[in-house]
Structure 1
Amino acid sequence: MDSISTALLLLILALLCLLLNTSSSKSRLPPGPRPLPFLGNLLQLRSSKDLLTSLTKLSKEFGPVYTVYLGPRRVVVLSGYQAVKEALVDQGEEFSGRGDYPVFFNFTKGDGIAFSNGDRWKALRKFSLQILRNFGMGKRTMEDRILEEGRFLLAELRNTEGKPFDPTILLSRSVSNIICSVLFGSRFDYEDERLLNIVQLINDNFQIMSSFWGEMYNIFPNLLDWVPGPHRRLFQNFDRMKNLIALSVRDHQASHDPKSPRDFIDCFLTKIAEEKQDPLSHFHMDTLLMTTHNLLFGGTETVGTTLRHTFLLLMKYPKVQARVQEEIDNVVGRARLPVLEDRTAMPYTDAVIHEAQRFADIIPMNLPHRLIRDTVFRGFLLPKGTDVITLLNTVHNDPSQFLTPREFNPEHFLDANQSFKKSPAFMPFSAGRRLCLGESLARMELFLYLTAILQSFSLQPLGAPEDIDLTPISTGLGNVPRPFQLYLRAR
Structure 2
Amino acid sequence: MGGLLNSKYGRGWTEHRKLAVNTFRVFGYGQKSFEHKISEESLFFLEAIDTYKGRPFDLKHLITNAVSNITNLIIFGERFTYEDTEFQHMIEIFSENIELAASASVFLYNAFPWIGILPFGKHQQLFKNAAEVYEFLHELIERVSENRKPQSPRHFVDAYLDEMDCNGNDPESTYSRENLIFSVGELIIAGTETTTNVLRWAVLFMALYPNIQGQVQKEIDVVIGPNKMPTLEEKCKMPYTEAVLHEVLRFCNIVPLGIFHATSKDTVVRGYTIPGGTTVITNLYSVHFDEKYWSNPEVFFPERFLDSNGQFVKKDAFIPFSLGRRHCLGEQLARMEMFIFFTSLLQRFHLHFPHGVIPELKPRLGMTLQPQPYLVCAQRR
- TM-score, length basis structure 1: 0.75
Question: Which residue of 349, 361, 373 maps to 2:241?
Answer: 349
SS at match of 1:304: helix
Within a 5 Å distance, the mapping from 1:284-433 to structure 2 comes to 284-433=176-325
Q: Which residue of 2 aligns with 1:189?
A: 81
Q: Which residue of 1 aligns with 2:350?
A: 458
Q: Which residue of 2 aligns with 1:128?
A: 20
Question: Which residue of 342, 367, 378 maps to 1:488?
Answer: 378
Q: Note if contact 1:210-1:480 (Cα within 8 Å) is conserved in structure 2.
A: no
Within a 5 Å distance, the mapping from 1:193-232 to structure 2 comes to 193-223=85-115, 226=118, 228-232=120-124
> Any unmatched runs of 5+ in structure 2?
none
Cα offset for 1:488? Answer: 0.8
Cα offset for 1:138? Answer: 4.6
Distance 2:185 2:224 in 1: 37
Distance 2:57 2:30 in 1: 32
Closer/same/farther in 2, CA of residues 314 and 217 from structure 1, 3 Å limit: farther
Within a 5 Å distance, the mapping from 1:129-148 to structure 2 comes to 129-148=21-40
Q: How many residues align?
A: 380
SS at match of 1:136: helix
Cα offset for 1:211? Answer: 3.8
Distance 2:322 2:114 in 1: 29
Q: Which residue of 2 aligns with 1:78?
A: none
Within a 5 Å distance, the mapping from 1:130-279 to structure 2 comes to 130-223=22-115, 226=118, 228-279=120-171
Question: Cα deviations across residues 340-395 of structure 1 (Å, max 9, x unaligned)?
Answer: 11110000000000100111101112232211211121112211121211111101
> Any unmatched runs of 5+ in structure 1?
1-108
Q: Which residue of 2 aligns with 1:471?
A: 362
SS at match of 1:433: coil
Closer/same/farther in 2, CA of residues 167 and 274 from structure 1, 3 Å limit: same
Q: Note if contact 1:340-1:444 (Cα within 8 Å) is conserved in structure 2.
A: yes
Q: Which residue of 2 aligns with 1:66?
A: none
The more displaced of 421-430 and 135-144 is: 135-144
Q: Note if contact 1:210-1:479 (Cα within 8 Å) is conserved in structure 2.
A: no
Distance 1:276 1:339 in 2: 43
Question: Cα deviations across residues 234-282 of structure 1 (Å, max 9, x unaligned)?
Answer: 1211111111111122224432111432111011111101110111112
Q: Which residue of 1 aligns with 2:175?
A: 283
SS at match of 2:73: helix
One-letter amino acid of the counterpart of residue 475, structure 1: L
Distance 1:439 1:423 in 2: 16
Query: Is structure 2 residue 1 aligned with structure 1 residue 114?
Result: no
SS at match of 2:308: coil
Cα offset for 1:470? Answer: 1.5
One-letter amino acid of the counterpart of residue 488, structure 1: A
Within a 5 Å distance, the mapping from 1:443-454 to structure 2 comes to 443-454=335-346
Question: Cα deviations across residues 150-181 of structure 1 (Å, max 9, x unaligned)?
Answer: 01001101001111111111111111111111
Within a 5 Å distance, the mapping from 1:58-137 to structure 2 comes to 109=1, 111-117=2-8, 118-137=10-29
Distance 1:336 1:285 in 2: 44
Q: Which residue of 2 aligns with 1:32?
A: none
SS at match of 1:381: strand
Closer/same/farther in 2, CA of residues 392 and 220 from structure 1, 3 Å limit: farther
One-letter amino acid of the counterpart of residue 160, structure 1: Y
Closer/same/farther in 2, CA of residues 413 and 246 from structure 1, 3 Å limit: same
Larger Rg: 1
One-letter amino acid of the counterpart of residue 112, structure 1: G
Q: How high is the sequence identity, in percent, across the aligned residues?
A: 37
Q: Note if contact 2:259-2:327 (Cα within 8 Å) is conserved in structure 1.
A: no
Cα offset for 1:139? Answer: 4.1
